[in-house]
Amino acid sequence: MDDRGHLTTEHRNSRTMELGRADIGETFDLINSEDATIAAAVAAAKPEICCAIELVVTGLRAGGRLIYVGAGTSGRLAVLDATECPPTFLTDPQTVQAIIAGGAEALTCSVEGAEDRFVDGEEAIHRRHVDRSDVVLGIATGGTTPFVHGALRAAKIGGASTVFLACVPQEQAGDEADVSIRVITGPEVLTGSTRMKAGTATKMVLNMVSTITMVQLGKVYENLMVDVNTRTNAKLVDRGTRIVQTLSGLPREAARELLGQAGGRVKTALVMHARGVDQDAAEQLLAEFDGHVDRAVGEQSL
């Protein structure tokens, strides 16, 4: 068994040595003060995060996929981010997907040893038949997870672009990815519990990767999710209606009716209203302008 004691995520935090004797309020303050450092750690990795996003945008524009790979907390956060893309951005469920070591069972309980098998990571990627249009983003907060490194090795052999996200310096745990993102969160409040600061940093980075990618792909207008899936539940129907209402200036009932005429597609409804065209013509315009509402509308005002 390898000694991982040199990893910063395994070091003891000198600021929280009294954690076991602290009362509730003191413990809150300790955790809160450590969490306050995470945004700065993410900001320090901006160049690498932006490079990764450029790879993802290019890949998705070419019809590829973003495939997250992780184990434990990293894998669960990956699944969370991937699962939120279809309702938020109306993406195909295959466009952004996640692989977690141990499979679906690992989402709700620990599958011991699943992360330790390099070959399982390789096989998970082989089953997805990756190619040059795909981007595989491996997550291992401590930087050493064999399952993740196996997946990245197979992805690179398959021609996919690769990204690695870890919370330790590269000299402590190297990688062979095209882009290596290192968000140095330091020792955890509770020694080795990377579900805490490292987990929070991971969620922040994945949110940025998926959200900024979708912005670049035209799935956002101003700061509104104009590709929201309005066919799934009442909350999203309401959100879609309010977006149409806000941008078109129509009364609520008229906005709801327009959304219905657009087949529930917010972007289509907006172009129909701005250009005075029917659903088919609006969707043709959107197709011509790669789904960007502002371009499809042209000089017309929403």
Q: Looking at the annotation, which residues are catalytic? A: 84, 115
CB 7 within 8 A of CB 140: no
Helix H or strand E segment including 138 = strand 135-139
Picking from 17, 16, 35, the residue whose alpha carbon sits closest to that of residue 203 is 35
For the chain, how many helices (H) and strands (E)? 12, 5
For 121-142, b where at least 16 C-beta lie within 10 A, e where not — what string? bbebbeebebeebbbbbbbbbb
Return d(Cα 66, Cα 136) in angstroms, integer: 6
Q: Which residues are bridge partners to 139 per DSSP?
A: 165
Residue 119, CA distances (Å) to 46, 114, 152, 261, 264 in order = 32, 11, 11, 51, 44
